[in-house]
Structure 1
Amino acid sequence: MSARSAVSAITGGWPGDPAARDAVLRLAEDREAIVREIAPTALAHGWPGDPAGRSTVLRLAEDRKAIVREIVPAALGRGWPGDPAARDAVLRLADDSHAGTRCGVASALAQGWPGDPAALRAVLESADDPEQQVRRAAASALAQGWPGDPAGHRAVLRLADDGRPQVRRFAATALARGWPDEPRTRVVVLGLADDPVPVVRRNAASALGQGWPGDAGALDVLLALARDREPEVRESAAVALVTGWPGDSAANHAVQRLGVDRVRAVRWATATALRKRGGT
């Protein structure tokens, strides 16, 4: 049995047990980084709030190996939310040289310290990170931890115009989640529905269904996306139409057409959405 499997068994079988916790604490001292990196998540899941676990994870935040440090932010946000020392450790990791670690910081701050001004400042700074994966995480984190915040809104609007399509698609989702009542948000997401990259159009379709159900302008755009040349976009449009415009005749007509689409994945997504809604 691998060390990871053993820890999973211990955490799942004896959560809260001091002896099991001590076994996991010893893993944090292992000479192999691939073993040490198991400990933070296990401690956060099995012994949240535990002082000894917190001390160990805080120490691992300064581990020499990036594969260990990158696990720490999520563990601290899950296991010790609201804890000032844990927050400060996560904030320090925002300047880590490893992009994977910085990526985890934004999500951890949104989970563990939503509404915290210092955490917000760090996430706003990460929205300008040179690595696209960090900017993507910042968009999602701002919507999760600071919905409605004006500075967060401005940052995500800027990310909606990012040169990387993966960032733009995350921004579309974040805008609908965090600022659906802002007029500018709707305009930007409608624009992303015409993005040249399919994955962005796909997320824009989902965002329109999530943020503006029943909206006439959003419906017009979704009806066009339901005829998109890319199946993944049609899938997303189908789900949005089913959930957001259940009584609209034009939406229902489009859904019927998508239910017999030439691509099986589109048919499956449509049928699944109808079943969840209680349709046929």
Structure 2
Amino acid sequence: MPRFAANLGRLFTDRPLVERFGAAAAAGFEGVELQFPYDLPAEEARAEIDRHGLTMLGLNTRQTPEGGLAAVPGRERDFSVLFGHALDYASTIGARAIHCMAGVVPQLQHAAADKTLVENLKRAADRADPWNINLYVEAISHRERPGYFLRRVEQAADILAQVDRPNVRLQFDFYHAQIEGGDVINRFEKHLPRIAHVQIAGVPTRAEPDEGELNYPAIFEAIDRLGYRGWVGCEYTPRGRTEDGLGWGRAYGLGA
């Protein structure tokens, strides 16, 4: 059975971030992931994680106007600084991974962006290795972030092959993968050796995974059958109060 983690950037947002850890635990989540937690002191986040016995998964590099800097040519030093902040925060709270956001890059710069992303990830992977922290890359759909450099899972997998570091892995988001190509179970199976983390949301609404184009019970059965043993991050935007929308997860131990 899949292990579900609450994305605290999207769930329980009627509360301050410091209170969302307890809310997630009370709703049955045993793991959490963060997006941009940097306004909350890392020591406070760590205290909440420990207090509620949660497994801390990953966080993103800081948000920027470009939607990240890892692939933006000419911004290598800025990315290094952002990554340093993320690494300090992640190591303090016991996070297992950092999603290195690629950013928006004009089409004419894509060749340069490819090389920039590969080299930035190599350097960042070497910095993260002593902390046993993985780096994630993720394909994000044009609908969510127009102009984002990494749009398709296949492109992200090609980047990983070029980086060739064991601690640089793929974050497979079924929501984005459906929008950018569909055929999500077959594509998940193809790229499974590189996948370290999964995220879900309903398509096209990005609400709870109980509506729209994707049959999530079938997806959960498939990823179990295929041998995926990682976490499934619930990165959706609830239609209302988070707790009221957890009916989809009751079969998996979520909700009251």
TM-score range, shorter chain: 0.3 to 0.5
Higher strand share: 2
Task: Output the TM-score relative to the length of structure 2.
Answer: 0.36
Largest Rg, 1 or 2: 1
